[in-house]
Chains A and B, each alone.
Chain A
């Protein structure tokens, strides 16, 4: 049942991330997030230029954006025909939030990895759990639901630890399959 609850929690977290994203997206249209960019190629003796200002989509054309106009009035039309204006939007907050979330996930994983590799073996030197899997029979029985009964572990901590041990066994088994025996994914 704990597996089930975990799944629900994961799903809820996913949906929250989703909503957060949309929320961020909705309030995001600040001044940094829209631009109208006009690229004008060289024309007669005027060199090429890039104009980049913040206007509404309606006003995103050469006449509004190119300022000051480098050509005299009768040439404006010809010059503006050459220019290409593009209205673009982005969400800087989505980018910021995503990158920061991503970095913190990587950071957390690295910390946990260090914990598993360095600290964990020291703590549980005498723990019966860490007995490596000797017989194959045992390792086949490590399916999540088979021994996830409520009987094991009274406190939350113990239960979490039990789950962690089971997970470790699974990963160990996966590692054996992929890296040592080369049965899968080679």
Chain B
């Protein structure tokens, strides 16, 4: 619209008109024109042409003076500046979250007497009193029972600790849900489905606002440390996008253009994953594969930069004290063998099944929450889920600690110095060199003990995660999914290891596993399992493998990870095409036009367009015979978001398209500021209004808000093409003509409804425009 206008502005006629009496107020655009209302879809084409226009203006101005030149250079650099700021802020916030979570998680069990702000590990960091047997105990760190009663052992102390653990968990989750409810309701959930929708061109005002940022950061810490089965990774993407939106408002280039803003947000999402997993490249790929809709190369480079800065910032905060960006960073050096691909693929199958089960069950539960009485008690729901989680989690040492720590332990290979139960193997007394490759050993009682505890933990995690994802506090899905996979993987890994140890003579183990060799790494199985389960739930492939690869830092494990990721995607796709995020988008009825769906039905534009056969005719404006009053009635009586403008009602030849919002604002503005505009004034969309006798009321000229290049198709265009046009160009609406005459209109919502109908779903589930 503005582009067309930018071209026509310097023409002599316009100059003459501008100097005339008609339309002085329109020379400076009034506020809010070209913006969108809440829950509306943006028009990518219009945004793009507006940016091109703005850019052209700046370039032409920059030749005028040095100051303008500097301004244009600043403008060109502002994208990188925004990225730098996003990286710094999201890295810092991720560090704060990590540190605070570390501390608060341990607060459930005890407190550091020497300095209350230390977590258990930090408290005993410098202590010389740790012993080899009890290496995480030190006198400075006291459990609550020890502090209150002085006893460390016994049923009384256990019960008191148990009780306080539940109490703290309840307190944290209650605080989280009240803060969310009072200050920023949009801060709940994982945020990725909504961000996907926003990036595809939807407006949710306040979703990326400052309060959402603050509350999401604060409550995320509370939610994670309450011990619920949720992770911080998804919400961190939301937090990073909030940072992106915040810094967008500093530069008019981004704050005034919804399309450009989305480029920044795509890059911010990359920064979010970069700090969540310590995987900058994985973050960029995640943004590309999973979240973004429109991802030009320029955004790729910028995301790369933002992810880099974010990772660097987090690294300099060093929240885990291990010079790594995540708690569960591992380093293996042992090779894997061809035969191991079989268990890896089996883990992939498990991951796919888990993904399918989780999506089905979680969506069913969320639908129940959405439609029944259950949704009326969000606070109570959170409290109940927390109580159940805490009561069931405490007795099992593998669920009591934070999920990240659990994953970290499952990923780790058993060295000679590991003290955990999982590494309780029977050592050969003659073994003398506990270097990296310890030969396979028979499992000790601790490992068998750990096995059934892990099995219980697996069942518990599977069930509770289904009910946790979607409650009204910030909750991510990555960590619980990875935990499920890691537990399953570790169990399989130990099983394979013991099988190989006890049956050296079996034909499959003969070449691969000689006695005294280190042939199976259970930690690697845990990692493959985690990748498979995450892949089954989210249906990521490339970015998932890259994230996992960045976590291990070993190139040789790419093939197992790829095998598992692909298998889990195949298996999960067999049960349902959509990943968890798409399913939630569908459940909420967001207007998200998936680029990956294929549309293969043989319908035509004329079947989809409005008005339908028996509907009243299309509401149109004429270019020079509608009065202000007519327009106002039309706006009042209909709820359409835009109106086609035609030459006259008889000929119905199309001139352009005008947005309802712009029309409302223009008329309101003209009524206030322009003298002589009354209800009977005629609205002109032509280039110049005819000279009218003085008795007639002053005309209102609105060519400025008219989009002269609306997208049109003919009525016999196949819907396949129309859907493609909507997807690729990001249209908001498209007009349908037959031999130049306007027939109807297809909006994005119509397309979505049509697609839903074709897939035998309820078309009314698409809720927004």
Contacts and interface: CB of A to CB of B under 8 A. Distances in A.
Interface string B123-145: 00111101111010000000000
B583 interface: no
Nearest to B767: A183
Contact of B321 (A52, A88, A99, A102): A88
Interface residues of A, number: 68
B89 interface: yes
B316 A25 contact: yes
Contacts of B317: 21, 25, 91, 94
B218 interface: yes
B132 A50 contact: yes
A127 interface: no
Listed residue (B38, B178, B211) with the most chain A CB atoms within 10 angstroms of its CB: B38
Nearest to A86: B322
Contact of A14 (B92, B95, B318): B92
B173 to A, nearest CB: 14
A48 B133 contact: yes
A18 B416 CA distance: 41
A146 B378 CA distance: 32
Contacts of A96: 115, 117
A174 to B, nearest CB: 4
A174 B126 contact: no
A143 B205 contact: yes
A49 B132 contact: yes
Contact of A167 (B37, B211, B369, B375): B211
Given A117-B182, A184-B588, A7 B249 contact: yes
A81 B433 contact: yes
B422 interface: no
Nearest to B247: A11
A92 B186 CA distance: 34
A94 B99 contact: yes
Contact of A11 (B31, B246, B371): B246
A7 B182 CA distance: 22
Interface in B186-214: 186, 188-189, 194, 204-206, 210-211, 214
Interface in B212-262: 214-215, 218, 221-222, 246-247, 249-250
A60 B415 CA distance: 20
Interface in B309-323: 313, 316-318, 321-323
Contacts of A119: none
A145 B32 contact: yes
A171 B88 CA distance: 28
Given A8-B250, A113-B182, A186-B470, A95 B118 contact: yes
A186 B117 contact: no
A116 to B, nearest CB: 7
Given A48-B132, A106-B218, A109-B218, A185 B250 contact: no
B181 interface: yes
A176 to B, nearest CB: 9
B37 A82 contact: no
Listed residue (B194, B206, B370) with the most chain A CB atoms within 10 angstroms of its CB: B206
Given A18-B89, A100-B117, A10 B135 contact: no
A116 B218 contact: no
Contact of B96 (A39, A92, A102, A184): A102
Contacts of B767: 183
A95 B182 contact: no
A127 B666 CA distance: 33
A162 interface: no
Contact of B38 (A78, A102, A105, A140): A140
Interface string A2-44: 0110111011001101100110010000001001000111100
A179 interface: yes
A21 B122 CA distance: 18
A39 B417 contact: yes
A98 interface: yes
Contact of B92 (A4, A17, A84, A146): A17
Contacts of A42: 132
A96 B92 CA distance: 15
A98 B186 contact: no
Contacts of A186: 366, 369-370, 375, 470, 587-588
B322 A88 contact: yes
A91 B318 contact: yes
Contacts of A17: 92
A130 interface: no
B247 A170 contact: no
A178 interface: yes
Nearest to A112: B183
A122 B322 CA distance: 52
Given A50-B131, A143-B38, A109 B366 contact: no
Interface in B352-376: 366, 369-371, 375
B37 A10 contact: no
B325 interface: no
B472 interface: yes
A165 interface: no
A178 B415 CA distance: 49
Contact of B99 (A84, A98, A105): A98
B348 to A, nearest CB: 31
A179 B378 contact: yes
B211 to A, nearest CB: 7
A81 B247 CA distance: 53
A47 interface: yes
B175 interface: yes
Given A14-B88, A82-B434, A140-B38, A41 B417 contact: yes
B117 A175 contact: no
Interface in B429-456: 432-434
B85 interface: yes
Contacts of B96: 98, 101-102
A82 B92 CA distance: 39
B581 interface: no
Contact of B249 (A4, A22, A50, A94): A4
Nearest to A182: B370
Given A143-B205, A145-B31, A185 B218 contact: no
B184 interface: yes
B493 to A, nearest CB: 23
B652 to A, nearest CB: 32
A65 B181 CA distance: 54
Contact of B472 (A49, A78, A95, A179): A179
Nearest to B367: A186
Nearest to A31: B126
A145 B588 CA distance: 28
A21 B92 contact: yes
A166 B433 CA distance: 70
A185 B100 contact: no
Interface string A147-186: 0000000000000000000010011001101110011111
30 contacts: A3-B249, A14-B85, A15-B85, A32-B125, A40-B132, A48-B132, A49-B131, A52-B130, A89-B323, A91-B317, A91-B318, A94-B318, A98-B99, A99-B99, A102-B99, A109-B218, A110-B175, A113-B178, A113-B182, A113-B183, A117-B182, A145-B31, A145-B32, A171-B184, A171-B211, A175-B181, A183-B588, A185-B189, A185-B588, A186-B588
Given A15-B85, A113-B183, 17 more contacts: A3-B249, A4-B249, A7-B246, A18-B89, A40-B132, A42-B132, A49-B131, A50-B132, A52-B128, A78-B432, A89-B318, A140-B37, A143-B205, A171-B183, A174-B186, A185-B588, A186-B369
Sorted from nearest, which 9 A-B pairs have the closest CB atoms? A48-B132, A99-B117, A178-B185, A186-B370, A90-B321, A7-B249, A174-B185, A102-B100, A98-B99
Interface of B: 31-32, 37-38, 85, 88-89, 92, 95-96, 99-100, 103, 115, 117-118, 122, 125-128, 130-133, 135, 175, 178-179, 181-186, 188-189, 194, 204-206, 210-211, 214-215, 218, 221-222, 246-247, 249-250, 313, 316-318, 321-323, 366, 369-371, 375, 378, 415-417, 432-434, 470, 472, 587-588, 767
